[in-house]
Amino acid sequence: MELFEDPYCQSRPARRTQWLVSALAFHYGLDKGVENEIIVLATGLDQYLQEIFHHLDWQGIGTISKSEFRTLCEVLGLEPGQEECAGLLDDLPDEINFRTFHGKLCEYFSTKSGCQTRTGRLPVGKENEHIETQIRLRRPLRRRPSPGSRGSQQEAAALQRLEDENSSLRELVEDMRVALQSSDARSLALQVGLRKCHASHTKDGGCIMFNTHVVSQRYMIMTQSVLREVDLIQSSRDDQLEEMMRMNNDLEDELSRSQKALLYLENCNEQLRREQTEMRRKAEEARQAVLKCFGKVKDLEEKSNKAVLLQLHIKELDMELQHYR
């Protein structure tokens, strides 16, 4: 008897068709070496299961058939002949709603991991309520610009633009993550439909006898939905790339203008330093001239004082001369 190969075994890298198995295994702690895309898918596990169920229930009746659930398990590698899958495929109702769909898959992996407390983890609210997982993205703390020079204000503005650009990139990554998850869910549903079609081929000897119109309509609707979503993703991606390129060009222009303004300010500063040096030199020359003039004034004062004494002496001599006459 061929040994059962564990679909979430660490020794084997996960294939793209096993994303759901790997995401559930990672969610319940069975695999520590999964790839990055599986971790991303595991962050929105409930929404991932909801999208798979939605694509299987393409008519929107709220239930899928037992055969579709069994076929999905075969696509995931959880075949009925395996002993470990006995509890997964036992006691299945003819019509399976989302609560049973969710509970069966989660119960299988939580039992495998021994986490009995997580087996009852079901979506909150009505059975047909769409489950969304909130993914909070950490944002860097924004520094408040200090009321200082013009350079600090320019740096704050550039930092704000970079934070806005990072926010746009985060939104783009989140959109791509959601699109990747939705595409994989649709791929699983298409594989289930393809296996049902092949099974009908084999049973009827090469003639598709069961509801050909419904099957063709189903594939036409799903194909149109895929094409429409691809167009939306491409247009959104092109718009975001154009916006990023425009923002990048604006930042480059702003940086060039800032560099030119900085060079101009440096030249003005150098010119002001030269003028200040020249003014200091002239002020020193003027101070020396004032000191020299002050010395001359003192000499004149001394000479003027001597002139008064000479006048008195001349008067005395005149008086003596007149006396002798």
pLDDT at 270: 94
CA quadruple 51, 56, 61, 67: dihedral sign: negative
pTM: 0.41
Give the C-alpha separation, 84 to 90, whole Å.
11
In tens, the pLDDT along 60-112 reads 888 888 888 888 888 877 766 666 565 677 777 888 888 888 887 777 766 66
CA angle 193, 194, 196 (to 5 degrees): 65
1: containing domain: 1-134
Give the C-alpha separation, 4 to 28, whole Å.
20
Give the C-alpha separation, 146 to 268, whole Å.
25
CB 100 within 8 A of CB 69: no
Give the C-alpha separation, 152 to 287, whole Å.
41
227 domain residue, yes or no: no
Query: Residue 23's closest CA among 51, 63, 56?
Result: 51
pLDDT at 29: 60
193 domain residue, yes or no: no
In tens, the pLDDT along 190-241 reads 888 888 877 776 655 544 444 556 666 777 787 888 888 888 888 888 888 8
46 domain residue, yes or no: yes
177 domain residue, yes or no: no
In tens, the pLDDT along 262-295 reads 999 999 999 999 999 999 999 999 999 999 999 8
313 domain residue, yes or no: no
pLDDT at 89: 73
CA distances from 181 to 21, 45, 50, 123, 145 (A): 13, 10, 11, 18, 41
104 domain residue, yes or no: yes
Query: Residue 154's closest CA among 254, 250, 223?
Result: 254
SS3 letters for the chain? Answer: CCCCCCCCCCCCCCCHHHHHHHHHHHHCCCCCCCCHHHHHHHCCHHHHHHHHHHHHCCCCCCEEEHHHHHHHHHHCCCCCCCHHHHHHHCCCCCEEEHHHHHHHHHHHHHHHHCCHHHCCCCCCCCCCCCCCCCCCCCCCCCCCCCCCCHHHHHHHHHHHHHHHHHHHHHHHHHHHHHHHHHHHHHHHHHHHHHHHHHHHHHHCCCCCCCCHHHHHHHHHHHHHHHHHHHHHHHHHHHHHHHHHHHHHHHHHHHHHHHHHHHHHHHHHHHHHHHHHHHHHHHHHHHHHHHHHHHHHHHHHHHHHHHHHHHHHHHHHHHHHHHHHC
% of the chain exceeding 90 in pLDDT? 12
CB 6 within 8 A of CB 18: no
CB 31 within 8 A of CB 25: yes
42-51, 87-96, 301-310: which is most confident: 301-310
Q: What is the mean pLDDT of residues 135-150?
A: 48
Q: Considering its fold, how many domains does the chain have in total?
A: 1
287 domain residue, yes or no: no
44 domain residue, yes or no: yes
